[in-house]
Amino acid sequence: MIQSLPIFGSPKEDFFKIFFPTLILVLLLPLDFFWKSQIFLLTTIFFLDGGHVYSTYVESLADPTEVKKGFVWKMLGLSFFLNLAIHLFISDYFFTYIFYFTVFHNMRQGLGLMFLYRMGQKSFHKVVKFSYYFLTVVPFILFHFRGKMREDLMGESILSPIFATTFLSTELTAQIFSIGAWLFGLGTILIFCYFALKKEWRGVLTMIFFGSLYTYSFIFSQSELKSYGLLIFSHAIPYFFLMEKRVSLTHSVGKIKKFAYVFIFLSFFFGGLLDYYQDDLVILFEPFESVGLALLLTPLIGHFLIDAFIWKRDHLKFKHFNQSRF
């Protein structure tokens, strides 16, 4: 069995930076008083979810070499006009569009982490990729057939899918969900048995980690907040450390490169504040609400689009980032 290469220097460091915070949150799932904590809500919803978005721009907007390329401005322009068009023409589904884009982005990060551990290994590539999507996409699809969860303290829905009950009867959707859940369980067992027989675990444990989160969050959880919290913790905290390492290795400004932790943390704090006051900021744009929402959510969609490129295998800075592990 080939051992996985650590991302942050050692397997122990990887564990504490990528998996440990989410595992702690899993242990806290039964403690309802914790999920009613205002501090937890502020930390998760604003400074992790809203804040992590802006760490992308420590590289994209604070690095003169990146700004000169013009790529970041193109992505931000595309993001703004995409947001504006969707809110103008299908405003009822605006936050549904944000929700699906967010889940896809989250899903792709898990896939990326898995392949970082499999870097240089070509065997089982297609099987591993198929298995990852099976363990994450199928629970997300089944989520559409199970109906709404509790909204808890939020007072409004955080997760905004198009539920199948909009088009099908409750009885039929319940049957589809039940059959789908059984087939998903069978498929999961077969995948686990396949990799066990092949003794192929390089990157697979990461896949199982994210697959388990999606299974709980979209099939078993009765609470929107718990599902949302798990998805954010498993995404935003590893992203903080990934961007910190990337900036410290590749940034063209010496001070930012040297104090990457500080600048990434400040970007989280700044983004969290903007997210916290988002509703108030939108009001400032009345009666041009569409423009206000499009503008304030441009960094979020820009973050999704920029990330889709800067973590690609052939991206120069990603190559530099990846070579630091060898």
Q: 214 CB contacts (<8 Å, ≥6 apart)?
A: 107, 135, 136, 139, 140
pLDDT averaged over every residue in the chain: 90
Distance CA 142, CA 91 (A): 25
Distance CA 94, CA 111 (A): 26
Instruction: Count CB neighbours of 21 within 10 A.
Output: 17
Distance CA 98, CA 94 (A): 7
Q: Is the dihedral of CA 108, 102, 300, 43 positive or negative?
A: negative
Distance CA 57, CA 70 (A): 13
Distance CA 129, CA 127 (A): 5
Q: Is residue 268 part of a domain?
A: yes
Residue pair 302/75 in contact by the 8 Å Cβ criterion: yes
* Range with lowest mean pLDDT among 89-103, 143-157, 179-193, 299-313: 143-157
Distance CA 285, CA 81 (A): 16
* Range with lowest mean pLDDT among 56-60, 117-121, 310-314: 117-121
223 φ/ψ angles, rounded to the nearest 5 degrees: -120, 125
Q: Is 150 helix (H, G, I), strand (E, B) or coil?
A: strand
Q: Is residue 1 part of a domain?
A: no
pLDDT of 84 > 60? The answer is yes
Distance CA 118, CA 84 (A): 39
pLDDT of 142 > 60? The answer is yes
Output the pLDDT for position 2: 46
Q: Is residue 235 part of a domain?
A: yes
The percent of residues above 70 in pLDDT, for the chain, comes to 97
Band the pLDDT of 300: cuts 50, 70, 90.
Answer: very high
The percent of residues above 90 in pLDDT, for the chain, comes to 67
Distance CA 144, CA 231 (A): 17
Instruction: Count CB neighbours of 19 within 10 A.
Output: 17
Residue pair 164/146 in contact by the 8 Å Cβ criterion: no
Q: Is residue 4 part of a domain?
A: no
Output the pLDDT for position 1: 42
For the residues 96-101, what does the mean pLDDT come to?
Answer: 95
28 φ/ψ angles, rounded to the nearest 5 degrees: -90, 0
Band the pLDDT of 210: cuts 50, 70, 90.
Answer: very high
Residue pair 215/139 in contact by the 8 Å Cβ criterion: yes
Band the pLDDT of 57: cuts 50, 70, 90.
Answer: very high
DSSP state of 165: G
Output the pLDDT for position 154: 55
Q: How many distinct structural domains can be found in the chain? A: 1
Output the pLDDT for position 152: 66
Q: Is residue 5 part of a domain?
A: no
pTM for the model: 0.91
Output the pLDDT for position 326: 67
Distance CA 250, CA 315 (A): 12
Q: Is residue 26 part of a domain?
A: yes
For the residues 298-326, what does the mean pLDDT come to?
Answer: 90
Output the pLDDT for position 164: 93
Residue pair 318/7 in contact by the 8 Å Cβ criterion: no
H helices present in 118-259, as ranges: 125-143, 170-198, 204-215, 224-250, 254-258
Q: Is residue 86 part of a domain?
A: yes
* pLDDT tens digit sequence for 220-272: 998 888 999 999 999 999 999 999 999 999 999 999 999 999 999 999 999 98
Distance CA 254, CA 147 (A): 51
| Boundaries of domain holding 61 | 11-323
In 3D space, the residue among 21, 83, 86 whose CA is nearest the CA of residue 232 turns out to be: 21
For the residues 121-125, what does the mean pLDDT come to?
Answer: 80
